[in-house]
Structure 1
């Protein structure tokens, strides 16, 4: 079975969400269903149908998280010797050679990616181009509108 890379922080976030779903959300929705049943006719009971829909979502999310955790390969960047290369879990600052715009990304697993927080998936075009490179290297990244050239300014193992 294929393993999927995940940072220590990503695994903790999923475990925390799983714990909350099982200990808080699931019991709350079960209580909502029981309360809605007491109101009588279930065919026209909107509260009951909404609670059942929410229960389905929670159970699906629990299964999804359990599946992801069972196939996760947790990588702790702090245990990897600092080679100066861009690796999974490193934070890298790159400069667009055309616009001089700087941007910093942390390379994470697919489920942890959040572009608003500068966390990009290891399978993204930018991350694939950066992996294995070092500070000072120039990489070409293919994007829908063409090719962009980036210089690696800094690599940090946090």
Structure 2
């Protein structure tokens, strides 16, 4: 994890998710990359590259892999694995319970406030701190009612019920 610039937003990841993604990156840069290079080499040995479908497919696979490697490297460079405080205040790395204000059925909604890359590690909705509801609820605590403008442009009122640290 490196120091962030003002223009590079950090993303929250659980330490276990960070470790798993780092292992995935190592695999991509090692064994997966070697397989693709071997496929390119084998296809190149077949002769005329202009009409060699295997060669072009292997090069496309290499391009996709290199793009995924770059994206994962960028994610891990901007990752913050700091455990959030156990203070009941909405922050990245917390599971937030809320309900829509004025909702007759009082249905409780829950989401994890974190990077979308946490989705495979959490069985529920994941919203980033940059999402409208994430931005609106940041810094609020149980019992507070917050208004924000939703993606459709209408004003939404929600009441924070609970904010607890994510448990991996």
TM-score over 0.5 for the pair: yes
Please, which of 43, 46, 49 is the counterpart of residue 39 of structure 1?
A: 46
1:22 partnered with 2:26: no
Q: Which runs of 5+ in 1 are unaligned?
A: none
Aligned with 2:142: secondary structure?
coil
Name 1:89's counterpart in structure 2: 93
TM-score by length of 2: 0.80
Q: Distance in 1 between matches of 2:124 and 2:35?
A: 31
Name 2:113's counterpart in structure 1: 107
Q: Distance in 1 between matches of 2:54 and 2:28?
A: 20
Map Cα deviations across residues 75-116 of structure 1 (whole Å, 9 max, x no partner): 223xx3x21111111101111124333211110036546898
Q: Distance in 1 between matches of 2:78 and 2:161?
A: 33
Please, which of 69, 93, 99 is the counterpart of residue 76 of structure 2?
A: 69
Map Cα deviations across residues 2-30 of structure 1 (whole Å, 9 max, x no partner): 35132224423431321221123211111
Structure 1 residue 33 displacement after superposition: 0.9
Contact 1:113 1:120 in 2 (8 A): no
In structure 2, the CA distance between the partners of 1:126 and 1:87, relative to structure 1 (3 Å rule), is: same
Instruction: Compare 61-70 and 51-60 and name the one that shifted more.
Output: 61-70
Q: Distance in 1 between matches of 2:165 and 2:81?
A: 16
More strand by share: 1
Structure 1 residue 154 displacement after superposition: 1.8
TM-score by length of 1: 0.84
Q: Distance in 1 between matches of 2:24 and 2:77?
A: 15
Q: Distance in 1 between matches of 2:93 and 2:42?
A: 46
More helix by share: 1
Q: Which runs of 5+ in 2 are unaligned?
A: none
Aligned with 1:34: secondary structure?
helix
Aligned with 1:75: secondary structure?
coil
- Root-mean-square deviation (CA), in Å? 2.3
